[in-house]
Every structure is written in structure tokens, then in C-alpha cells.
Structure 1
Amino acid sequence: IVINRIVLIGRLAKDVDLKYIQSGKAVATFSIAVNRTFSKEKEADFFNVVVWGKSAENCANYLAKGRLVGLEGRLQTRSYETQTGEKRYVTEVIADNVEFLEYAKSETPAR
């Protein structure tokens, strides 16, 4: 059996970046900071997150830097070449489910 699932709860480290690919599908990217509960120091791990489709649009509309979010997805590593020909690797969380865990007083949850 092989399982690739990740569940995280953290705060957005930057605002959501929403783009549309050539097919018209929405893709949102952002990073979240997850506190290390086992550390005596205030340390956090940062995860790059990718969300697709309607969920991506909802993230862009309702999330902002500092907001608490829960997500579930899978880890994916991809590679690309820089302009100088150097190969780089990026590990990202591809989120299937994003839960908005807090809202501004003027907002209501999107369903």
C-alpha cells in the first residue's frame, strides 16, 4: 500500500496569487506557516500550496495573509530549468480540500 496524504493547519504567510491557465482553469498558490508544537523556540515550517478550480477562486476571494486555514492534499515534487539551464526542484502541497478556519467579521463562509 502506498499513501501520499498530508493534513495541515496554519496561517497564510502571504496573500493568495490567482492565475488562469490557457484552458481557463483557475490555479491559486500561497504558502502557509505551521508552528512546530514540539519545539521550545517559536519555529514554523513553511509549505507552498497549490489549489485548482473553484476552490482556487474561493481561496483568492476569502483568504489573506495571516488567516488560519486547514487543508488536506498530497505532496508533489516537480522540476524546472532556470534561464541559466540549472535544474531546480520544488515540493508543493496540492490541496484537494481547503477549510477557512476564521473570517473577518464582515465575511460569511463560502460553501
Structure 2
Amino acid sequence: MSGINKVILVGHLGKDPEVRHLDSGVSVATFPLATSETYNKDNKRIEQTEWHNIVMWRGLADIASKYLKKGKLVYIEGKLRTRHFEDKEKVKKYITEIVADNFTMLGRKTDFETSENISHTDPTPEKIDDQFTKGNEQMEDDLPF
């Protein structure tokens, strides 16, 4: 039996996505995401914030760099990945990241550069334009407001 590695997060971007292009031309976007939860302790409301390292690849990275900005609310699905490296002093360091499979921008229409909330998966580059043009036309007809 194989295992399941699934992460679902809803949180706010800690900064604008940082995009790099590898020698092969592949895009990689990274950014921190804050999730918060509250609980009561001794009749006081306590808020605990957790920071997550998000990584998006290829077309998803390109879309994220165009539409996601610091402070925006986003729903992300992905999987946990832990990698290691050696620092300058040859000490082995570990980092855990969420490799996103898709995301959905949340919040008000005016919170984003586009006029709609759009859900994104990691499409092939040829399908990105179709996703925005056809998807937005359909969504405009379905809006309740």
C-alpha cells in the first residue's frame, strides 16, 4: 500500500512570489505563507501563526508571479517535501516545503488584478491562455452578484 502526502492550506502571502528561471527555462516561484489559528487559554484569545515555505513550478509559477501579491489570501493544495543541503560551514541543513499542485485566489474581486477569483492547476503552457480567456467568460455568467 502506498501512502498519501496531501497538504491543504488557506493563508496570506508573507511577500510577493520570488521567481527564478532555471537553465532549462523552467520557472520556479517561492514565497512564505502564513496560516493562523486561535484558541482560548485562561480566558484569553491566543493567535498562533505558522509560516510555510511554498514552491510552485512551471506554468503555475508564472501564474502565481503575475497574480499573487503580499498579503493576499489564497487556498493552496500540494505535498510536503523535505530536502537537505550543506551550508558554508559544511553543516547539513534541512528545509520542509509545500510543493503546490494548484491554488485558488480568495477574497474580494478587487483584491486581485483580474476581475475574478480563478482556480489554477499546473497546466501546460499551451493551456494557460485558454484557461484565462474561456474560464473567465464562463465565470462571469455564473456570478451571483
TM over 0.5: yes
Structure number with larger C-alpha Rg:
2
Match of 1:70 in 2: 75
Alignment pair present for 1:107 and 2:108: no
- Cα distance in 2 between the residues matched to 1:16 and 1:105: 16
- Cα distance in 2 between the residues matched to 1:12 and 1:80: 25
CA root-mean-square deviation = 1.7
Q: Which amino acid aligns with 1:42?
A: E
- Cα distance in 1 between the residues matched to 2:59 and 2:23: 16
TM-superposed CA distance for 1:38, in Å, is 3.9
Q: Which amino acid aligns with 2:31?
A: F
- Cα distance in 1 between the residues matched to 2:13 and 2:7: 17
Match of 1:41 in 2: 46
Higher relative contact order (CA 8 A, sep 6+): 1
- Cα distance in 2 between the residues matched to 1:70 and 1:82: 32
TM-superposed CA distance for 1:37, in Å, is 3.8
Q: Which runs of 5+ in 1 are unaligned?
A: none
Between 57-66 and 30-39, report the one with greater CA deviation.
Answer: 30-39
Q: Secondary structure at the match of 2:103?
A: strand
More helix by share: 2
Q: Which amino acid aligns with 1:23?
A: S
TM-score, length basis structure 1: 0.91
Q: Which runs of 5+ in 2 are unaligned?
A: 119-131, 133-145
Q: How does 1:14-93 map to 2 (within 5 A)?
A: 14-38=15-39, 40-93=45-98
Deviations 1:20-54 (A, max 9, x none): 01110000000110011445312211100000011
Between 13-22 and 87-96, report the one with greater CA deviation.
Answer: 13-22
Q: Which amino acid aligns with 2:113?
A: E
Number of equivalent positions: 111
